[in-house]
Amino acid sequence: MLTLPVRTSACAESPGLSILPMPTSPPTHLATLALVALGGALGALLRVCVGLALPTLGAMPTGTLAANLIGCLLLGIVAAKVASISRPPAWLQQGVGVGLLGSFTSTSTFASEAFFLGTQASPLLNAGYVAASLFGGLALAGLGARLASASPARPSGGEP
């Protein structure tokens, strides 16, 4: 069984389940943020390229689907590599995992965490996490759309 004892964020000290651990030493925060930013810029560009390269099939966003599935595969690979190295390099865990793949896809982290949660916790907890993520995300997206359409439109070029 693969276990990943890690921190949930670069600034938090609480333990939690996350695929990619953050360094906890304050001097490394700036370098970590730079790696995430660089990886994020590259991942976003790659996502646009995948979207442009693949045609949509009716209403199916094939570019997004492809990016999400590829990202899930790649983050699984990165997470396994990070877990197998006693002191994984920051460029791998943060630059590639969080930055590049985090901006390339939003579902890669969710899928990997759901997989590892399913192997390390109860099936009921895993099912709750998956259901809350999927249905909660759909509900909040709908709420956001309703809130946006309910707010009065602002004239373009005017003050915010």
pLDDT digits (tens, 9 = 90+) for 117-128: 788 878 888 888
- CB-based contact 23:116 (threshold 8 Å): no
Any bridge partners for residue 6, and if so which?
A: 16
pLDDT at residue 14 greater than cutoff 50? no
| HSE value, Cβ hemisphere, 13 Å, CA-based, for 70 | 16
Binding region: 102, 105
Residues making up the annotated binding site for Na(+) are 102, 105
What is the pLDDT, as a whole number, of residue 8?
Answer: 36
Question: Does residue 74 surpass a pLDDT of 70?
Answer: yes
pTM: 0.60
Lowest mean pLDDT segment, chosen from 19-23, 45-49, 138-142: 19-23
Q: How many CA atoms lie within 13 A of 60 on its CB side?
A: 7
Tens of pLDDT along 87-130?
888 788 888 888 998 899 877 667 877 887 788 878 888 888 88
Structure tokens at 132: 């809350």
The residue ranges of every structural domain in the chain are 33-147
Return phi, psi of residue 8, to 5°.
Answer: -85, -20
Mean pLDDT confidence for 128-142 = 86
